[in-house]
Amino acid sequence: MITLGCIGIGDWGKNLARDFSQLNDVDLRWCCDIKESRFEAFVKLNSKTKFTKNYNDLLRDEGLDAVVVASNASTHYTIVKEALSSGKHVFVEKPITLNSKEAKELVSLSKKMNKKLMVGHLLKYHPAVEKLKELSDSGQLGEIYYLYSQRVNLGRIRLDENALWSFAPHDISVILYLLNSEPLDVSARGQFYLRNGVHDVVFVNIRFKDGKMANIQLSWLDPHKERKLTIVGSKKMVVFDDSQNTEKIKIYDKGADVKTDYESYGDSITLRFGDITIPKINMTEPLKIECQHFIDCIKNDKTPKTDGSDGLRVVRILEAAQKSLEKNGIPVKI
């Protein structure tokens, strides 16, 4: 049995607390939040859990194996550092920190303390993303040329982080997972319309060393609710639409074939329009998979799929994108 404490049970933290508490091999001993009203709602589901407003109560509990950090991103570095130093395994929501220097320090500290450090890059535990990875690695898509994602909605408006830091970690983690390629540079442009200095809309472009390219559209000021990823390969193209309840992935047998022997220039490239197929996805709630994975890594001494190093890679791109954003889109090397 793994004893666990949750620091932050607000909008997303309450979901983590709920799913961890429902695992058979977890004893959710503590919940911590600055608002006691949040715990009053949660305790109806788990009456055995203790509550505190001071996260140090968790860190001083020598019988506690691990903590889940779902507080504001600006607090991640301090809390995770103290938790690791107190001998606790740590699950921290994305992003791991707000700069790469701090993220690198936490990765080193977790290794020094021999404790698991896992980052909540939820989409890497999504069964549909696993299917995308299978399609990519098997060669069914051919050579991946480029991909682009859209993560837009109307609300919720953040006050302490812009659309880049709030939304992009999801897409960046998946892009790095699928491409297995080293990013070269990143450029980003955006604008703030609702609050001065907090970008509501951001467009990010990532170039990779092997010529691949990824584009990400982010906004909480949009008439549509879109969570979509499109991958364009030399053999096939695929669309992952997470807003759909069913048919989350569609594979398009479409493309442009280049001939080596042709009579005229117009015959050198032919377009192909084939079938659209919808693979079966055995859906399980990604959050449950993610939570169980963290516990399994502790019990079996395994490296998490989204470990601290994975979180650091994502933050490096976010950091470069933020610099580019502040310089009106000038590419920043990673």
Q: Which mean pLDDT values do the consecutive 10-residue runs of the chain (334 residues) have?
A: 95 93 94 85 72 95 97 96 98 97 98 98 97 96 96 86 95 96 96 93 97 97 95 96 93 78 61 86 95 98 98 98 96 96
- Could you tell me the CA-to-CA distances from 92 to 118, 200, 284 in Å, in that order? 6, 25, 22
CATH architecture of structural domain 124-285+317-333: 2-Layer Sandwich (3.30)
State the chain's mean pLDDT as an integer. 93
Pairing of strands 249-258, 269-277: antiparallel
Q: Where in the chain is the domain with CATH 3.40.50.720?
A: 2-121+287-291
Q: Where in the chain is the domain with CATH 3.30.360.10?
A: 124-285+317-333
What class does CATH assign to 2-121+287-291?
alpha beta
**pTM, rounded to two decimals:** 0.92
